[in-house]
Amino acid sequence: MGRHSPFDIALDGSERARLERRARKSTTPYRDVIRARIILLAAEGLSNTEIAAKLGISRTTVVTWRGRYANRAEKSKSGRESLEDLPRPGQPPKYT
């Protein structure tokens, strides 16, 4: 069993239902499904290592999304926007 994460995730009923829908929807991009599953498993109390093994992803990925969700949820009482990609640095490409 892996080291316990300092980011404990607690979900209310509506947030859990929203994440479960996101994880099950067949048209949702894979990255969004994985992010939702990470948060759902973290809310069940699994360690980062257990989540990574269960989903077949790296532990670093779990640490990143669990931490981002917990930090955003702490600030805004909703981690919803934390599962979205951050804006990329630099000027957007220009196509002529």
How far apart CA 56 and CA 15 sit, in angstroms, is 24
Q: Read off the pTM.
A: 0.78
Domain 13-75 matching CATH 1.10.760: the answer reads no
pLDDT in tens, 26-73: 898 999 999 999 999 999 999 999 999 999 999 999 999 998 888 776
Q: Residues 7-20: what's their mean pLDDT?
A: 88
pLDDT at 89: 85
pLDDT in tens, 65-90: 998 888 776 655 555 566 777 677 88
Residues 6+ apart with CB under 8 A from 48: 2, 3, 5, 59, 62, 63, 66
Residue 88 sits at the vertex; the CA angle it makes with 82 and 94, to the nearest 5 degrees, is 140
